[in-house]
């Protein structure tokens, strides 16, 4: 399976068939000549890498890429959970990528090589103890997920609290493994958060929804993540735990884990903000991209 499930030619064809672009409109949107688009569509000429990236951006903006995820699942053929449990090299590579990106989204300054060193127990010069612990704890949480995922597994309150306890291990002021007892301020949204007294009931309702038998796992995973973040049940670690829940949901249903890259951090925040307004499309698209990132790393 290629990292990109659809070829540039396929993406252009879909932009014409599904989004209503004419070749002339494609040329204008991509800032190339009509002749270039014609050759890509009809003469099997391949775009240059920069042009290919522009095609991909236009494609993702105008086309629902959920089918790409299902196509990737079909092409990969294997169960990602079994691969991760049986292949240490792939597991270490994927978990390192997830840990580095998830911590970096939350402000860690560690490079991926420094993250790897910290996970191995090595001291990284110039980085704080907090950053070392972030890497170690997140890696341990991913391994805990693998330990838990067995046939019949369900996400429970105890499971979510345990993930938080691992992610926040040695940060006792953050109440590891316990819901927040006071108000928190969320900087990336203007949506009011529930008060601490509401959190247990809101989480109970969310967990029931997580375990409901809805077939559309990608949209459900995106919705779960948004709803979890709007509850913001912990004093700290909500983003990391929320993304770990996403990974759990996807692996439970035979999909690759979602890898939201730090380079997409602002797109991620923007997608959550748009969901505040009832626009869930960007968050679903970003979830799809994150799962496709996961399949790329599984190869």
Q: What is the pLDDT of residue 189?
A: 65
- pLDDT band of residue 123 (cuts 50, 70, 90) is very high
How far, rounded to the nearest angstrom, does the alpha carbon of residue 289 sit from its chain's CA centroid?
A: 8
Same domain (yes/no): 178, 233: yes
How is residue 64 annotated by DSSP? -
Task: Single out the residue in 39, 63, 87 at which a domain terminates.
Answer: 63
Measured distance CA(252)–CA(247) in Å, rounded: 8
Q: What is the pLDDT of residue 192?
A: 85
Q: What is the pLDDT of residue 2?
A: 42
Q: What is the pLDDT of residue 56?
A: 85
5 pLDDT more than 70: no
Distances (CA, A) of 235 to 126, 165, 181, 197: 27, 12, 8, 14
Supply the range of the domain harboring residue 28: 1-63
The whole-number average pLDDT for the span 50-61 is: 90
Q: How many domains does one find in the chain? A: 2
How far, rounded to the nearest angstrom, does the alpha carbon of residue 171 sit from its chain's CA centroid?
A: 25
Same domain (yes/no): 152, 254: yes
Q: What is the 3-state composition of the chain as percent helix, strand, coil, each rounded to the nearest 5?
A: 65, 0, 35
Q: What is the pLDDT of residue 188?
A: 63
Q: Which of 3-7, 76-80, 134-138, 214-218 has the lowest mean pLDDT?
A: 3-7
The whole-number average pLDDT for the span 244-262 is: 97
Same domain (yes/no): 125, 201: yes
The whole-number average pLDDT for the span 70-88 is: 95
What are the residues whose beta carbons fall under 8 Å from the beta carbon of 21, sequence distance 6 or more? 15, 29, 62
The whole-number average pLDDT for the span 50-72 is: 90
Same domain (yes/no): 40, 81: no
> What SS3 class is residue 179?
coil
- pLDDT band of residue 3 (cuts 50, 70, 90) is very low
Task: Single out the residue in 47, 63, 79 at which a domain terminates.
Answer: 63
Q: What is the pTM of this model?
A: 0.88
Same domain (yes/no): 257, 179: yes
With a pLDDT cut of 90, the percent of the chain lying above it is 88
Same domain (yes/no): 57, 123: no
Task: Single out the residue in 36, 63, 90 at which a domain terminates.
Answer: 63
Measured distance CA(148)–CA(154) in Å, rounded: 9
Same domain (yes/no): 83, 207: yes
Considering the chain, what is the average pLDDT of its residues?
Answer: 94
Same domain (yes/no): 120, 252: yes
Same domain (yes/no): 43, 96: no
CATH number of the domain where residue 74 is located: 1.10.3290.10
């Amino acid at each position: 399976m290629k990292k990109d499930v659809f070829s540039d030619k396929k993406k252009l064809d879909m932009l014409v068939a599904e989004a209503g672009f004419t070749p002339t409109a494609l040329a204008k949107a991509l800032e190339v000549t009509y002749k270039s688009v014609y050759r890509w569509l009809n003469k099997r000429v391949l775009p240059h890498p920069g042009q290919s990236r522009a095609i991909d951006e236009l494609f993702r903006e105008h086309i629902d890429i959920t089918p790409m995820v299902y196509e990737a699942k079909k092409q990969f053929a294997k169960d990602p959970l079994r691969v991760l449990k049986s292949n240490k090299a792939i597991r270490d590579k994927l978990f390192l990528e997830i840990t580095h990106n998830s911590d970096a989204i939350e402000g860690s300054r560690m490079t991926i090589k420094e993250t790897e060193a910290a996970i191995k127990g090595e001291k990284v010069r110039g980085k704080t103890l907090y950053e070392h612990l972030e890497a170690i704890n997140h890696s341990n949480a991913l391994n805990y997920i693998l330990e838990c995922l067995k046939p019949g597994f369900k996400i429970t309150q105890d499971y979510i609290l345990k993930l938080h306890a691992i992610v926040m291990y040695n940060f006792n002021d953050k109440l590891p493994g316990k819901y927040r007892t006071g108000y928190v301020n969320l900087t990336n949204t203007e949506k009011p958060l529930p008060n601490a007294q509401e959190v247990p009931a809101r989480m109970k309702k969310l967990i029931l929804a997580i375990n409901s038998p809805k077939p559309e796992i990608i949209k459900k995973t995106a919705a779960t993540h948004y709803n979890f973040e709007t509850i913001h049940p912990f004093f700290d670690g909500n983003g990391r735990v929320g993304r770990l829940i996403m990974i759990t949901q996807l692996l439970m249903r035979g999909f690759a884990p979602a890898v939201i890259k730090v380079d997409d951090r602002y797109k991620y925040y923007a997608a959550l903000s748009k969901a505040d307004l009832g626009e869930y499309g960007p968050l679903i698209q970003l979830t799809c991209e994150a799962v496709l990132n996961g399949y790329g790393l599984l190869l």
